[in-house]
Structure 1
Amino acid sequence: MIRSSACQPWRADHPGPCRRTRRPSRHLHHSLGHDRYERFAAYDQAWNDWFEMQGIEPFRIAYEALSADPLGSLRKVLSRLGLKCEGASGITPGVGKLADATNHEWAMRFRLEHNIA
């Protein structure tokens, strides 16, 4: 998200590469990363609270699983809805994962700096 904020492509099929010739600074990574982590953690907690208040057990799919196997994830959703998994046949995701080694490095450093498992 930080990289996309810095150079604007939000999808892997974005026309043209990210035109930055250098990575955003460590300060940008740290300040944006921490602020966004806190915001999204609060959103996640609010959804968890809402589901609990409603007595709903949400069906969860991790981003890593979705990006690694979008069709497998779609089949799991269809199955959970009681629909035929064959409905996923022939579906081609229109986008792909944008993250690369730089994103992985940032994520690892962020987790280490903030003691996040």
Structure 2
Amino acid sequence: MRLFRRPPAVVEIPPNILSEVRAGILVCTSPRSGSNHLAGLMASAGLGHPLEWFGGRRLLELPGYPRDPRAQLLRALTEGRSSTGVYAIKLFASQFTQLAKKVKLPASLPNLSYVRLTRDDLLGQAISWARARQTREFRSSEISHVPPRYDGHAIAESLEKILMENVTWDGWFAKNGLSFLPLTYEQLQRDPAGSLTKLAQLVNVEPNWETNLRSGLEIQRDAINEEWRKRFLSEYADPSSFRYRMIK
């Protein structure tokens, strides 16, 4: 056990990097909220590259990617920045919890604005996450060789973790009196151009893109997801109680 830990610090940004930054967007979200879709749309619109710069599965698998959060932050400000000068970061509450032990993130990020990305269909989100965790197919561009297998316990666990992610973010925004742009996956699907216009206004960037914006990703949910939903509800639904039965 370590009795003394270095307190979290504000990261000093080198002047040459700081001079290239116009504004930043922190996408505060949870797994399977449509954040990969949003990231692709934002990149195509010149609104940064909101990847999981802190603890993301793909980035941490890259050879030579730094483990030091201070170095990761500088990557976000450079590689996560578009030619418009807007950088973007995607962050889950669980990642923020670990990051906050070493770095004072908001205080380190210049000209920062917040986006709160959620998904209305929480059960659909949980089913999507349980399936992706099983098959390791987190994007439509990834190919899985593991056939999906229904697991009600995994769906219930995923739903619980998503709820905790959401309440953690909501509590953090409320406690700190921070304003943010609310955005849902469903809104993004219905009106991608309108959603991106709101994001551009958030960082004072003039919208300059075509109406047929694409993220390069396709919807992954299919008949299997709907089959799992029906099966899960048949096992877990109980309107008479707040509690749900966990499968042993």
Of residues 119, 136, 161 in structure 2, which corresponds to 1:8? 136
Letter in 2 for 1:4: A
Question: Which has the larger displacement, 107-116 or 63-72?
Answer: 107-116
1:99 corresponds to 2:99: no
Which protein is richer in helix relative to its size?
A: 1
Question: Size of the alignment, in residue pairs?
Answer: 109
Whether 1:57 and 2:179 are equivalent positions in the alignment is yes
Note if contact 2:192-2:213 (Cα within 8 Å) is conserved in structure 1: no
Q: Which amino acid aligns with 1:6?
A: Q
Q: Which runs of 5+ in 1 are unaligned?
A: none
Is the contact between residue 139 and residue 217 of structure 2 (CA under 8 Å) also seen in structure 1?
yes
For residues 49-85 of structure 1, the C-alpha deviation after alignment (integer angstroms, 9 at most, x for no partner) is 1101111232121122224443432222113333222
Q: Percent identity?
A: 22
- Look up the match of 2:149: 24
> Helix, strand or coil: the match of 1:61?
strand
Q: In 2 relative to 1, CA 83–56 (structure 1 residues): closer, same or farther, beyond 3 Å?
A: same
Distance 1:104 1:73, change over 3 A: farther
In structure 2, distance between residues paired with 1:2 and 1:76: 31
Structure 2 residue aligned with 1:38, among 129, 138, 160?
160
Q: What SS is found at the alignment partner of 1:60?
A: strand
Amino acid at match of 1:24: R
- Determine the C-alpha separation between the residues in 2 that align with 1:74 and 1:53: 27
Output the CA distance in 1 between the equivalents of 2:233 and 2:180: 26
User: Is residue 78 of structure 1 aligned with residue 203 of structure 2?
Assistant: no
Alpha carbons 1:67, 1:96 under 8 Å: kept: no
8 Å Cα contact 1:51-1:57 kept in structure 2 = yes
Structure 1 residues 8-50: Cα deviation after superposition (integer angstroms, max 9, x where no partner) = 2111122x4x4445x413xx1x101111111111111011011
Greater C-alpha Rg: 2
What is the root-mean-square deviation in Å for CA atoms of aligned residues?
2.8
Specify every segment of 5 or more residues in structure 2 that has no aligned partner in the other structure, as ranges: 1-128, 240-248
Deviation at 1:97, TM superposition (A): 2.1
1:98 corresponds to which letter in structure 2? Q
Distance in 1 separating the partners of 2:166 and 2:222: 25
